[in-house]
Chain A
Amino acid sequence: GDSVTQMEGPVTLSEEAFLTINCTYTATGYPSLFWYVQYPGEGLQLLLKATKADDKGSNKGFEATYRKETTSFHLEKGSVQVSDSAVYFCALSDSAGGFKTIFGAGTRLFVKA
């Protein structure tokens, strides 16, 4: 079945450092790929998405490119801020799976001032 694997956390960075959170997936169809962010005590917010190969999703300085050849969707940000501290979830939605969203385990990011 479909699955998402993302790098384990926690990831601890200093402010203004470069961020990469790796995500790879397996899917039977042609999934859409997502990154969600969860701040402490809150629900999930959609951060960015990509719906087909080579698409780049971007939002709030975060980017991720849909790489079909490597089945990856790595999240990057050039300069993190303390306010980026949260848990980041990579996810996929596949029409073959009825559009239910399959989530990775999440990666907790701590950004120090």
Chain B
Amino acid sequence: NAGVMQNPRHLVRRRGQEARLRCSPMKGHSHVYWYRQLPEEGLKFMVYLQKENIIDESGMPKERFSAEFPKEGPSILRIQQVVRGDSAAYFCASSPNRTSGLRTDTQYFGPGTRLTVL
């Protein structure tokens, strides 16, 4: 069973460009979470999605950031018009479908995408 996949692992963008980060959850997982880790800091929650639904986006900046988890394909975190302050590691996590009977409070993390804005 493959783990959570994220790509790209490293992404370099110039100020004003767009960044697209992809996350494929573990097989059988229908809950996806995005977190941001600034250098030398802990992870901060950004958004929680299920297929085709945003459940909690309380940690998302109000502008330039958006997330989706379509019926088919990976979850996408999109950052428009990037600025230097967006440079960080972005981690995706997934947890099981609740109907599987498994606890959904354990999240399994991907390797992260390290975004550098020049």
| Residues of chain A having any CB pair with chain B under 8 Å | 32, 34, 36, 42-46, 49, 51, 89, 93, 95, 98-106
Instruction: List residues of chain B with CB within 8 A of the CB of A42.
Output: 111-112
Q: Do the beta carbons of B105 and A44 come within 8 Å of each other?
A: no
Q: List 13 A-B contacts (CB under 8 A).
A: A34-B106, A36-B109, A44-B43, A44-B91, A99-B104, A99-B107, A100-B33, A101-B43, A101-B93, A103-B42, A103-B44, A104-B42, A105-B42
Q: Do the beta carbons of B109 and A45 come within 8 Å of each other?
A: yes
The answer to whether B56 has its CB under 8 Å from any CB of chain A is yes
- Complex Cα distance, B91 from A95, in Å, reads 21
Give the total number of A-B pairs whose CB atoms are below 8 A apart.
58
Instruction: List residues of chain A with CB within 8 A of the CB of B33.
Output: 100-101
The answer to whether B41 has its CB under 8 Å from any CB of chain A is yes
- Taking A34-B106, A42-B112 as given, write out 14 further A-B residue pairs in contact, using a Cβ cutoff of 8 Å, ordered by the A residue number: A32-B105, A32-B106, A46-B106, A46-B108, A89-B42, A98-B48, A99-B95, A99-B105, A100-B59, A101-B35, A101-B43, A102-B45, A105-B41, A105-B42
- Complex Cα distance, B41 from A105, in Å, reads 6
- Complex Cα distance, B96 from A93, in Å, reads 14
Instruction: List residues of chain A with CB within 8 A of the CB of B107.
Output: 93, 99, 101
- Chain B interface residue count, Cβ-Cβ cutoff 8 angstroms: 25
A24 vs chain B, min Cβ distance (A): 15
Instruction: List residues of chain A with CB within 8 A of the CB of B103.
Output: 32, 51
- Complex Cα distance, B48 from A95, in Å, reads 13
The answer to whether B25 has its CB under 8 Å from any CB of chain A is no
B interface, over-half SS: strand
A50 vs chain B, min Cβ distance (A): 11
- Complex Cα distance, B44 from A100, in Å, reads 10
Contact with A along B16-51 (1 / 0, CB 8 A): 000000000000000101010000011111001000
Contact with A along B74-113 (1 / 0, CB 8 A): 0000000000000000010101000000011111111110
B92 vs chain A, min Cβ distance (A): 9
Instruction: List residues of chain A with CB within 8 A of the CB of B12.
Output: none
